[in-house]
Amino acid sequence: MNVEEAVLKRKSIRSYLEKAVPETDLTTIIEAGRWAPNAGEYTMSVIRDRGLLEKIDERTLQAMRASGNDFLMERASLPGYLPTYGAPVVILLSGPKDMAITQLNCAVVAENMLLQATELGLGSCFLRSPAYALNAPENIDLAREAGIPEGSQMECGAAIGYTDDEERFRRMERVPRGNVVYIG
Ligand SMILES: Cc1cc2nc3c(=O)[nH]c(=O)nc-3n(C[C@H](O)[C@H](O)[C@H](O)COP(=O)(O)O)c2cc1C
Using CB distances shorter than 6 Å, the residues near ligand 1 are 11-12, 14, 125-129, 171, 174
**What's the rounded Cα separation, in Å, for the pair 36 and 106?**
9
Q: Indicate the top mutation candidate among 12, 60, 102, 109 to test ligand 1's pocket, ranked by most ligand atoms within 8 A of CB.
A: 12
Does the pLDDT at position 110 exceed 90?
Answer: yes
Q: Is the pLDDT of residue 159 over 80?
A: yes
Report pLDDT for 62. 98
pLDDT (0 to 100) of residue 170: 78
User: What is the pLDDT at residue 169?
Assistant: 84
In the chain, what percentage of residues exceed pLDDT 90?
93
> What residues contact residue 98 under an 8 Å CB cut-off, 6+ apart?
151
Rounded to whole angstroms, the maximal C-alpha distance in the chain is 55
* pLDDT > 70 fraction of the chain, expressed in percent and rounded: 100
What pLDDT is recorded for position 36?
98
How far, in Å, is the centroid of ligand 1 from the Cα of 93? 15
Q: Given this model, what pLDDT does residue 118 score?
A: 98
Q: Is 91 helix (H, G, I), strand (E, B) or coil?
A: strand
> What is the model's pLDDT at position 37?
98
Question: What pLDDT does 168 receive?
Answer: 80
Q: How far is the CA of 13 from the centre of ligand 1 (A)?
A: 10
Report the pLDDT value the prediction gives residue 58, as an integer from 0 to 100.
98
pLDDT at 180: 95
Q: Is residue 111 exposed (0-12), middle (13-18) or buried (19+ Cβ within 10 Å)?
A: middle
Nearest CA to ligand 1 atom 1: 128
The per-residue pLDDT for 44 is 98
